[in-house]
Amino acid sequence: MSTAVSAPGKVLLAGGYLVLDREYTGLVFGLSARIHVLVHNIDSSAGEQLSEIRVESPQFQDAAWNYGYRLAGEQGGVGVTQLEEATTPISRNPFVETALLYGLTYISKVLPPSTTITPTRITIFADNDYYSHSPSSSSSTATPTTTTNQKSFSNFGVRLQDAHKTGLGSSAALVTAFTGALLSHYLPSSTFSLNRPACRSILHNLSQASHCAAQGKIGSGFDVAAAVYGTCVYRRFSPSILSSLGEPGTAGFATRVQEIVEDTSSSVKWDTTISKDDVSIPAGMALVMCDVDCGSQTVSMVKKVLEWRSKSPEESKALWDELQLYNETLGTSLASSSNSALPAAFAAIRTRIRKMGTESGVPIEPEEQTLLLDAVTAGVDGVVGGVVPGAGGYDAVVLLVKDDEVTLGALDVFLKKWKEEGKGNVKLLGARGELEGARLEDVGEYAGVAL
């Protein structure tokens, strides 16, 4: 028996920095670029079953991790230990390890006490747009093919730590797909099915918990929300919800995980809000991603913006409140296909984002990006508007465009010329905004994957 679950990457179109505070929301889009996780039962007829799970990410070199697992006493949950590899030096994958620990801990609480967690083999595949590497396999294509329903992935020919990420939120999509695949595989469908809203909420809560634990910090979680629910208006959870979990292995950890994940705790309640009705992609339009070959340090940008915010509470509150209104206007214009209102909605947001940058001394919409966004909006017919997404900086731009070959062709020509003129190396990615979140996939569609 095998199970496959995929989860989308993200782009925060509006609400960067604001979404860190529960008073404000973020307009987050799921992307067509997905991370896929397959869980396969191991044939155990040959002998004694060891409590081992092997995880592989075969698009990368030396990307395999073996884990032993065992139930800790005093409701400490399932402990996970990485095992030595015979041939390759050991490398850690904190996101895989933590998602495994939290996932198995929850599963161990939900399965009847006499049920053992059987060993499995887990395979991870990432759609090509997560990395800006030239694929080293000629047999692979850029995105999963839809014509034959057979998925196809590239061999990137590098180690995971050497891969150039495009910033689409690989760790959140990975943790969500991994957790969704574990729960769908080990639990009967009467207990867990992604089709049921209550189960999706369990997936959300558990993925937020393990993603935060692996990251070592509690962020806004908009990336995990997009991986679980797809495109939505997101209001974050109070950080205290997750800090109440305590350390894995400590007495009562498994009980606390179950209570928090199922939201049955008497002292702590989830306060995330997810609305899928207040944002959409207008018919005939596409949200496209451009990778800027440069990159920014998000952590230090966030630190500086928040420092300015606490130093200038009145000024920043006025700006945050104004931006929130314009962000909501953009969301409702998108949801109601009020296309004529869109250029002004983008322009209003960009003006305030630039102000946030100038006031805090952080290049949120740097001059190079201003030039690019202005030129592409004015110069390519069918480009309705665009912004620097998320934390901004030099990572990416996102554009709302007419979804036709003429517009996309003209955009491609524009960006090539932009590069030739030495104005910047900006590439149109294949990833586009998509509404759907995590989903169960047909395992047969991965049968022909060759790397």
Ligand X SMILES: C[C@@](O)(CCOP(=O)(O)O)CC(=O)O
Ligand Y SMILES: Nc1ncnc2c1ncn2[C@@H]1O[C@H](COP(=O)(O)OP(=O)(O)OP(=O)(O)O)[C@@H](O)[C@H]1O
Separation between Cα atoms, residue 442 and residue 436, nearest integer Å? 16
Q: Name the one range near ligand Y by CB under 6 A: 164-172, 198-206, 265-273, 341-349.
A: 164-172
Which of ligand X, ligand Y, none interacts with 285 (beta carbon under 5 to 8 A by kind)?
A: none
Q: What minimum distance in Å lies between the beta carbon of 94 and ligand Y?
A: 6
Site for ligand Y, residues 202 to 231, rule: CB under 6 A: 223
**Size (the chain), residues:** 451
Element (H, E) at 175: helix 170-186
Side chain identity at residue 377, one-letter code: T
390 binds ligand X (CB under 6 A): yes
Site for ligand Y, residues 59 to 98, rule: CB under 6 A: 93-96
Site for ligand X, residues 7 to 26, rule: CB under 6 A: 12, 16-17, 19-20
Rounded to whole angstroms, the maximal C-alpha distance in the chain is: 69
Element (H, E) at 178: helix 170-186
Separation between Cα atoms, residue 163 and residue 395, nearest integer Å? 15
Q: Return the number of the residue (20 or 183) whose C-beta is nearest ligand X.
A: 20
Sign of CA dihedral 24, 27, 30, 35: negative
160 binds ligand Y (CB under 6 A): yes
- Cβ-closest residue to ligand X? 390
Which of ligand Y, ligand X, none interacts with 93 (beta carbon under 5 to 8 A by kind)?
A: ligand Y
Options 27, 122, 168, 396; binder of ligand Y; rule CB under 6 A: 168
Residue with tokens 């080293």: 136
CB 159 within 8 A of CB 64: no
124 binds ligand Y (CB under 6 A): yes
391 binds ligand X (CB under 6 A): yes
Which of ligand X, ligand Y, none interacts with 17 (beta carbon under 5 to 8 A by kind)?
A: ligand X
386: helix, coil or strand?
A: strand
Site for ligand X, residues 203 to 242, rule: CB under 6 A: 219-220, 222
Distinct helix (H) and strand (E) counts, the chain? 11, 13
Q: Return the number of the residue (292 or 383) whose C-beta is nearest ligand Y.
A: 292
Q: How does strand 26-41 pair with strand 120-126?
A: antiparallel
* Integer angstrom CA distances of residue 95 from 7, 85, 157, 423, 427: 15, 19, 21, 37, 28
154 binds ligand Y (CB under 6 A): no
Compute how many other C-beta atoms are within 10 angstroms of the C-beta atom of residue 180: 33
Q: Return the number of the residue (56 or 322) whose C-beta is nearest ligand X.
A: 322
Q: What minimum distance in Å lies between the beta carbon of 253 and ligand Y?
A: 22
The residues binding ligand X (CB under 6 A) are 12, 16-17, 19-20, 167, 219-220, 222, 298, 302, 389-391
In the complex, which residues of this chain contact ligand Y (CB under 6 A)? Answer: 57, 93-96, 124, 126, 160, 165, 167-172, 174, 223
